[in-house]
């Protein structure tokens, strides 16, 4: 590993030294992750409203199965 990446890179990886570029990239990844999670949440809310409107009894009954919650019930109905 030292021959391939260099001693300084290995020590930096083990001790947690981050350059300003590393910090910028990590912030961008976190922002993308937050955006994707918000989009997933928005889609789940829309699916829930749709299935509660068109399939209220099936949607409710599916959630009585152990381990089947809101997301799984919408996937099963879909």
Q: What is the pLDDT of residues 19-60, one digit of tens each?
A: 899 889 999 999 999 999 999 999 999 999 999 999 999 999
Q: Sort 51 into a burial class: Cβ within 10 Å, 0-12 / 13-18 / 19+.
A: buried
What is the reported pLDDT for 13? Answer: 78
pTM of the model: 0.63
What is the reported pLDDT for 44? Answer: 92
| Token pair listed for 15 | 């001790």
3-state DSSP assignment of residue 19: coil
CB 40 within 8 A of CB 71: no
């Amino acid at each position: 590993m030292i021959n391939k990446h260099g001693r300084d890179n290995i020590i930096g990886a083990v001790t947690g030294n981050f350059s300003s570029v590393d910090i910028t990239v990590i912030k961008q990844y976190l922002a993308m992750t937050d955006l994707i999670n918000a989009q997933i949440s928005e889609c789940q809310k829309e699916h829930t409203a749709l299935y509660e409107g068109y399939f209220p009894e099936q949607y409710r009954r599916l959630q009585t199965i152990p381990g089947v919650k809101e997301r799984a019930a919408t996937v099963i109905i879909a």
